[in-house]
Amino acid sequence: MPDFDKHRVKKNDRVNLSKTETDGKKIESDRAACEELCESLRTELISLQARLYSEGKQKLLVVFQAMDAGGKDGTTRSVFQGANPQGVVVTSFKRPSDEELAHDFLWRVHKAVPGNGMIGVFNRSHYEDVLVVRVHDMVPESVWRPRYEFINDFEKMLTASGTRILKFFLHISKNEQKRRFQERIDNPEKRWKFDPADLEKRKFWNAYEKAFEDMLEKCSTTECPWYIVPGDQNWYRDLVVTGVIVETLKQMNPQYPAPPDVKGVVIE
Ligand code: ATP
Ligand code: MG
């Protein structure tokens, strides 16, 4: 079993994304073995999720952030395939509506956190408010700077209320982003995903990198850790994310509720 914990950002770690590996091949060379392992981990995930749902006492929140074309959609699809859809709620955070903008930045997020028995998946999240918002000066620094602490407090409160939180930064290289954008243009089935605005954001690569580094350094805690997942190879990325989720669900150790007494029950 690969050591997934090496991708976790520990307290006081300094993060330098341009020096952090994006290439899964350089970490695990045996793709077929990784895929096989991922498949068996997925089977475990499915049965742990069934227990979490039936127990109905704990909840898991999984957060995905990445550069554009970083693989948030693909990871969500692949990691949770086969899980009971009733127990998994995916929320994609887009540009805030007028109503959302009229409230504090956590208002729309808090409404979307998972309830008992559920796995909540955030495709983008409250972290956009210290990423896109920061990079493009949508609010002054005096507004976004305190948000790291507000986020840590918010996540601490969710943890104290029975929610386990796992956060994955899907880390792709600038070259891989180019390859994926080009693929969106060339492949008719992917063209709908091509967004010219993404090319504008690509020009801000370095500023995004800095914002991601700050997020990873300031908001990875022992209880609510960030993982930097090498994302250039889907098969390595999916393995790490599935593996970390399975380890966490095992620690949560959900149990089927005590069954009713069926002694002497006869079905006519
Ligand atoms: P994909 O990554 O698969 O293309 P997407 O998440 O980019 O999907 P889009 O509708 O293309 O979905 O983009 C959503 C946009 O909303 C992103 O550019 C994101 O940065 C932006 N966004 C999300 N949250 C906020 C926020 N709080 N403030 C401003 N912009 C935000
Ligand atoms: Mg997009």
Tens digit of pLDDT for each residue in 187-212?
999 999 999 999 999 999 999 999 99
259 found inside a domain:
no
Confirm or reject: Cβ of 195 under 6 Å from ligand 1.
yes
* 3-state SS class at 153: helix
Work out the pLDDT band at 2, boundaries 50, 70, 90.
Answer: confident
**Number of domains the chain is built from:** 1
Give, rounded to a whole angstrom, the gap between the first and last alpha carbons of the chain: 50
* Cα separation values, 142 from 127, 130, 137, 146, 267, Å: 16, 12, 11, 7, 68
How much is the pLDDT for 241?
98
Establish whether residue 128 lines the binding site of ligand 1, counting it when its CB lies within 6 angstroms of any ligand atom: yes
User: How many Å apart are CA 178 and CA 185, to the nearest integer?
Assistant: 11
What mean pLDDT comes out for the span 161-186?
Answer: 98
Residue from 91, 95, 104 to probe ligand 1 pocket by mutation (most atoms less than 8 Å from CB) = 95
Pocket test for ligand 1, best of 64, 75, 76, 94 (most atoms within 8 A of CB): 94
Q: Is the CB of 129 under 6 A from ligand 1?
A: yes
Residue 267 lies in a domain: no
User: Does the residue 108 lie in any domain?
Assistant: yes
Q: Which domain range does residue 235 map to?
A: 4-252
Residue 235 domain-assigned?
A: yes
Query: 64 — phi, psi (to 5°)?
Result: -115, 130
CA separation for the pair 166, 223 (Å, rounded): 9
User: Do the domain assignments include residue 24?
Assistant: yes
User: What distance in Å separates the CA atoms of residue 243 and residue 60, rounded to the nearest whole number?
Assistant: 15
Residue 257 lies in a domain: no
Average pLDDT in the 145-172 region?
98
Query: Is there a domain that residue 268 lies in?
Result: no
Dig out the tokens for 207 from the structure: 């500023």
Q: What is the rounded average pLDDT for all residues in the chain?
A: 97
CATH number of the domain that 176 lies in? 3.40.50.300
Token pair, residue 245, equals: 């989720």
Name residues whose C-beta falls within 8 Å of residue 197's C-beta, 6 or more positions apart in sequence.
none
Residues in the chain: 268
Q: Which atom of ligand 1 is nearest to the CA of 195?
A: 11
Q: Are 242 and 34 in contact (CB under 8 A)?
A: no
Q: Which residues surround ligand 2, an ion (CB under 5 A)?
A: 195
* 104 vs 231: CA distance, rounded Å: 32
Report pLDDT for 1: 80
Whole-angstrom Cα distance, residue 249 to residue 166? 11
For the CA of 69, the closest atom of ligand 1 is 2
User: Is 16 a residue whose pLDDT tops 90?
Assistant: yes
